[in-house]
Structure 1
Amino acid sequence: MKTFPDGFLWGAAASAPQTEGSALVDGKSLTTWDKWFEMNPEKFDKQVGPKDTSNVYRQYAEDVQLMEDMKLNSYRTSISWARLLPDGKTLNQKAVDFYRNYFLSMIEKNVEPIINLFHFDMPWWLMEKGGWETRESVEAFGYYAKVAFEQFGDLVHRWTTFNEPIVHVECGYLFEFHYPAVVDFKRAVQVGYHTLMAHVEAVKQFRKGQHTGEIGIILNLTPVYGKSDAPEDLKAKEAADALNVKSFLDPVVLGHFPAELIQLVKENDLLPASEAGDKERIARATVDFLGVNYYQPKRVQAVSHPTVPAKMPNDLYGEYDWPEKKINPYRGWEIYPEALYDIAMRLKNEYGNIPWYVSENGMGVAEEERFMNDEGIIQDDYRIEFVHDHLTELHKAIEEGSNCFGYHMWTFADCWSWLNGYRNRYGFYRVDIENDFKRTPKKSSFWMKSVIQQNTID
């Protein structure tokens, strides 16, 4: 038996825009997702948009009871900026009441709320001003964070500023999966820089307010593996690591940008606009802990004929299709649990063994009803195997001294997933969106309950 540390956080993760629903009621203003769906519903799988999602706004008490039934001791979700401050300035009391009741219901069931501030849901009023491309976003986010800390700081003691900040940079400004769906490397770098400075401003507000607890950030620390040890493949690996991992990891943990990233953006005419004093602000805003999202590794190789200076990341590194990979065919993602051990040891050896937890890990599968038994329970043995194998690698890293304090699965109940809608399901519980969002446990929920109760895997 492999036993985890006492007090280990066992839970699940979600976000406001993917679960709450009620997107246009009780004072909430439009986000980029609401507006994009209004403009281009054909881009969304089966034209399922953000309006209802999984109805947590109405059904949170039921979900929290199911969390207790499953013996979860923690749960991470986010606050909707557009719900709490519909115009960026005016406090929405209905939002305050909802979130306080939601968080209190968790606490009463011995489920610790870990609350994130931004999960890809840019308010439309700010997007109209340029979103993360404008420096105004930094101050706006800082004010939002300040209000959130003041309204909920007595209930929440672990805060995170952003979930996977590199994702809204890539998906919105390189790969057209998020609004505004532009392709511009230089604008992407500027968006990333302002996102970092918004994080810095939120950390400043947390510490200035002398709030109890800790503040961190959630990063998808996708490990980069090169095709070979040839110099050209190693150079590609270094570039991919600098852009995708160290760009946020180094400043939030070490307080400065990595030298290789600075050189890369200079060489390719990608330097963002900054302000005097930013360097010092970054140095003062290091985090107390990290959330780490991990789904798949990144495998790269040298580019045969790159454009110089680089117009896109694929001018710096190319994707490598590792012939030995095990694949999840529904997402096209590689399944490689060993990378979680590599992440853990890197944090231990290169980043001061900072406290961290697995804030997301999971397996999305389409048409899970194929695996439903006569009692209506989805037999998701593939998910059990996936989680077991990743926990095995995580346990190994903890035994070797990595400072990991928890594991959260994505997600608790099936949720809406951006342009993909409900195509792939990730939850411990099935959500029937055509039958009043009815929750039904999957086999993995019973297995995970046993793991939590014993604090071990075999």
Structure 2
Amino acid sequence: MQPFPNNFLWGAATAAYQVEGAHDVDGKGPSIWDIYSHQPGTTYQGTNGDVAADHYHRMEEDVALMAELGMSSYRFSIAWARIFPEGRGKVNAAGVDFYNRLIDTLLSYNIQPMITLYHWDLPQRLQDEGGWESRATAEAFAEYAMTCFLAFSDRVSLWSTFNETVVFIGHGYITGLHPPGVNSPARALQACHHVFVAHAKAVAAFRQMQCDGNIRGKGMIGFVNVLQPHTPASTMSEDQKATRIADGIYTHWLYDPVLKGEYPKELLEIAQLTLGAPEFVKGDEKLLKENICDFIGLNYYKREMVAANPQQSTFEMNTSGQSNSAGEFGFKDLFKFVRNPEGEYTDWDWEIYPQGLTEGIMQIKARYGDIPIYITENGLGYKDPIIDGKIIDDARIDYLSRHLQAIADAIAQGADVRGFYPWSFIDLLSWLNGYQKQYGFVYIDRHDYLKRKKKKSFDWYQRVIQSNGTIL
């Protein structure tokens, strides 16, 4: 196959709560996950991120492994409560120092940092004051973002504000499986709007700081979304229509505000009429419109097949004012996801469909133009087999190889894909699933003082990077 572009970034990704540990060390305040994961029945066997992979204390060792792997970039998130223990106000110097040391260590190995400002771990103090349902949280986020820009932007040129709104809002405010454990589509829509407001305020601050000279160089700021393409379950017109509805809810509602600066008009009208949300304040439309992304990060794991719900297969305004209820963002029963009878599935019932990555990338290009794209997550959750002491994760190698080919296909079709960050660099806490769901190139032996062990996929990815993707 043709090699990837010469400046293509070969990376891997993690997130602060899932990898750092040190949950109450050096002045860090509690996040919502520090509290929620300790509540009975919330996670698999009561697992939590108190220690995780202990990356906080073993950062130098981990970065050395990244360098051995050959990574040219590393995507990680900052723990907001490590910088602002109470979400705003006084800065925790020890937290800033940790990320300074991480950035400097990465750069000493010529590894470019990509920072995500928010990967689900809201400071608990802000949750106590209303969380994302409160507009004050968006103001606090802008303060936090500016603090990070001032501290780190002299060495960091790739920033993303948020990771996977559909997950932390959908599970936090509709299914109730994540903190704060709410079940209300209307509250979900308002919280989601405040996330978009927070993003726009951070982008505005970033660009103003560039103009003022506080941010030097050609830094870029973006947003990371789930990429979940949808395929009709049949050629029937009802299933085709249901698929368009799914696209509107799971893609356009989440991408349009950050890439077009506006919501999909019809969806917004329906949401506000039936659920009374989201409510805007004066200036919100202008704020979103003037602060769209420099790039978009795509987290791709699966596609979904969509079928019409025979009980309610039309997509029309509910003029009675009755709520259509859930769905992921307030539109229950308009469609349903169905299993592909010929599909290949992971142990966690996610379909393995590499060509969906090509299709999804090209759909983003078609709707939003030539926006720079980074594949910010892609990987296989798997219970890795250990044979004679070695981690033989052939399934992960096959999965990633096929998805890299899908990226190459999208690049060949004209997509501006600039980097690949498989999930994840190292085995880490998988939120509700604890440590049973492994993703990394590096295994953590939880029975031997968290000893790091390179998997078979480590050697494979090393060769891929060395060949710039020629060898898959």
The TM-score normalised by the length of structure 1 is: 0.96
CA distance in 2, matches of 1:41, 1:53: 18
What is the SS of the residue equivalent to 1:159? strand
For 1:51-200, what aligned pairs fall within 5 Å after superposition?
51-87=50-86, 88-200=88-200
1:425-452 alpha-carbon deviations (Å, 9 max, x no partner): 0000001123221110000010010010
Does residue 419 in structure 1 map to residue 432 in structure 2? yes
Asked whether 1:312 is paired with 2:326, we answer: yes
- Matching of residues 229-268 of structure 1 within 5 Å: 229-268=235-274
Structure 1 gaps of 5+ residues are none
Structure 2 stretches lacking a partner, 5+ long: 313-317
* SS of equivalent residue, structure 1 residue 273: coil
Q: Deviations over 1:60-86 (max 9, x none)?
A: 100100011010100100101101011
2:370 match: secondary structure? coil
**CA distance in 2 between partners of 1:263 and 1:302 (Å):** 22
Q: Does the 8 Å CA contact 2:221/2:295 hold for their aligned counterparts?
A: yes
Q: Shift of the alpha carbon at 1:270?
A: 4.3
SS at match of 2:139: helix
> What's 2:378 paired with?
361
Contact 1:44 1:419 in 2 (8 A): yes
Structure 1 residue 378, shift from structure 2 partner? 0.8
Give 1:7 deviation, angstroms. 1.2
Quote the offset at 1:339 in angstroms: 0.7
Structure 2 residue matching 1:7: 3-state secondary structure: coil
Contact 2:80-2:123 at 8 Å conserved across structures: yes
2:59–2:102 Cα contact (<8 Å) kept: yes
The one-letter code of the counterpart of 1:428 is: F
Inter-partner Cα distance in structure 2 for 1:303 and 1:203: 39
Contact 2:305 2:337 in 1 (8 A): yes
**1:197 to partner: Cα distance:** 0.6
What is aligned with 2:402? 389
For residues 334 and 82 of structure 1, the distance between their equivalents in structure 2, rounded to whole angstroms, comes to 35
Q: Which residue of 1 aligns with 2:224?
A: 218
Distance 1:304 1:284 in 2: 41
Which of 420, 426, 430 is matched with 2:443 structurally?
430
Letter in structure 2 aligned against 1:184 = S
State the match for 1:292 in structure 2: 298
The aligned counterpart of 2:18 is: 18
How far apart are the structure 1 equivalents of 2:306 and 2:364? Answer: 21
Q: How many residues align?
A: 452
Deviation at 1:384, TM superposition (A): 0.5
Instruction: Tell me, yes or no, if structure 1 residue 326 matches structure 2 residue 339.
Output: no
The alpha carbon displacement at 1:100 in A equals 0.2
Structure 1 residue 175: deviation in Å? 1.4
Displacement after TM superposition at 1:193 (Å): 0.7
Contact persistence 2:187–2:277 (CA under 8 A): no
1:442-453 → structure 2 map (5 Å cutoff): 442-453=455-466
* Superposed CA offset, 1:156-208 (max 9, x none): 11000001111111111111221121211111111111111111111111111
Separation of aligned partners in 1, 2:165 and 2:463: 34
The answer to whether the Cα contact below 8 Å between 2:272 and 2:278 also exists between their aligned partners in 1 is no
Tell which deviates more after alignment, 226-235 or 184-193: 226-235
Q: Which residue of 2 aligns with 1:29?
A: 29
In structure 2, the residue matched to 1:378 is 391
SS of residue in 2 equivalent to 1:341? helix
SS in 2 for 1:276: coil
Provide, for residues 227-285 of structure 1, a one-character-per-residue CA deviation record: whole Å limited to 9, x for no partner: 23433323322222112111121121122212232243145334311101100100111
Q: Secondary structure at the match of 1:233?
A: helix
1:326 partner amino acid: E
Identity %: 38
Q: Secondary structure at the match of 2:400?
A: helix
Aligned to 2:467: 454
Residue in structure 1 matching 2:367, options 339, 350, 362: 350
Question: Distance between the aligned counterparts of 1:256 and 1:32, measured in 2?
Answer: 29
Q: Is the 8 A contact 1:2 1:457 kept in 2?
A: no
What SS class does the counterpart of residue 209 from structure 1 fall into? Answer: helix
Distance 2:95 2:335 in 1: 44
Distance across 1 between alignment mates of 2:269 and 2:335: 16
Q: What RMSD in Å do the two structures reach over aligned CA positions?
A: 1.4
- Residue 292 of structure 1, CA deviation: 0.5
Distance 1:179 1:403 in 2: 35
